[in-house]
Structure formats: C-alpha cells, structure tokens
Amino acid sequence: MKRAKKKSAKKVAKAKRKKAGPRKRANKKAAKRKPRADLRRRGLMFVLSSPSGAGKTTLTRMLLEDEKKNVELSVSVTTRAKRASEIEGRHYYFIDRPRYDEMVKKGDLLEWAEVHGNGYGTPKKPVETSLRAGKDVLFDIDWQGTLQLYGAARPDVVSVFVLPPSAHALRERLARRAEDNQEVVDRRLRNAIEELDHWREYDYILVNDDLDRAYRALTAILAAERARRGRGGKADGKLADQMRRDTQPELAELVKKIQAEL
C-alpha cells in the first residue's frame, strides 16, 4: 500500500510538471517575440532646415552622435563641388549633372531641388529600407525638399526649422566657417531672405541663440514625436510644445527683422 501511494505521488508531480511546462515555454516564446515586434515599427522622417549658417549642421552632427543606434542620416546626392572637410558617402554623394538628371527622370529620388545653383536630392530606396526596419531617418534639406516629402509621405514627416537669433549672427557664422569664398557667402545671405519666408511651413521652430538649449529642444521634439507614435520612452512634452510653430507668435517679428537686416 505504501509503494502504491508513493507511485501515485510521483504521477501527480509528473502531471504537474507537464502542465506547467507548456506555459513556461509559451512565456519564453512570447518574450522572444516582443523585440521582433518592436523592430517592425516604422521609423519617422525627421527634417531639419535652415538658412546657411543658422547651426543646422552642428545640431545634426550632435544628434547623430547621441542617437547612433536609432537615427540614420539620409545622405543626399549633389552636383556641387566637394569641400575640403567633406567625405564622400558621409556628407554627400557627389555626382555630375547628367547622372543627377537621370535619377530625377527615373524617379529614384524621394525629393530634389536646385539650391544655390546646384542640384540636391535624396535617394529613395535606402530611406524606405531604414523606415521599415524601425530606424528614424534624419534629413538635412531645404524647404523645397521638405514640401516634396510632405507630398510623398506627410504622416511620416516631422519638420523643424532652425532660425538664427539675428542677421549679424548669420553673417558671423558664415564668415567663421571659412570654407566658401566671399561671392558664395554673399549669395547664401541673399538666398537666406527667401528661405526665411518658409518658416511657417514647418511643425517646429528653434531659435539657435544658444547651442546647448537648442539641442535640448531638438531632442525633446524627437522624443515627443516618438511617444506620440506609440514608441514609448521618456519625453519632455512641455518643452516640445513650446517649440511648436503655432505656440510662438513672436517669431513673425523676428523673421521680419532678420530679413530687413540682410
């Protein structure tokens, strides 16, 4: 009788293990599925635009350094000459005019524009690949390219326009860069007047009067937009909201003043 009881106890224990086993395995499978589902979320197109010398390139570099795993730079093609400090494939793909025109004709560019007498454009295929993989894509483009992105994929686009605090600051920054001759600098300043006309077409506006403060605002915008799309993470929504274009009525006067002084 005792042996029968022992045997019965073993059977009960074995039955319990069998019952518990599938649940544990199911939990492990569910845990493995979660990361894969997260990777399938779609990234966003994060656009930065500004007149030359407003600090957009510096902000872009800072963001890419801090967000290496989550943000990729959309590398544009351009027909202009390469500057001494630029690296092929990192800053731009430098191509000739016939090849550029062919890419436009075939529809290989997501957006394209003539800027300062040169052609610029964003290759379509690598951007879509990154978005599908859940990567955010950072665009360093002008207002013309931004409007084309709106037309192609507005729900994916978050746009930020960077303003200089004054015309004096814009001139000073362009002169300090010392990579363009005076003729090019003068042309960029003239073009800035027209570029500033398009600030109202952007979702957010940053006045780059202090680089650290502008960068904190930029990262707050990105975090808030990720959270709004259900991607989680901590977001300073209050700071991001302060940067929205429609919450800064004083910007109209600032832009007029800069244009008048240019």
Walk me through the domains of the chain, giving residue ranges and CATH numbers: 41-74+134-261 (3.40.50.300)
The pLDDT of residue 116 is above 90: no
Please tell me whether the overall predicted TM-score, pTM, comes out greater than 0.85 for this model. Answer: no
Chain segment 43-84, per-residue pLDDT in tens? 999 999 999 989 998 999 999 999 999 999 999 999 999 988
pLDDT confidence tier of residue 21, bands split at 50, 70 and 90: low
CA–CA distance, 223 with 231 (Å, rounded to integer): 9
152: number of Cβ within 10 Å: 15
Chain segment 160-189, per-residue pLDDT in tens? 999 999 999 999 888 887 667 888 888 889
Sign, Cα dihedral of 150, 152, 158, 164: negative
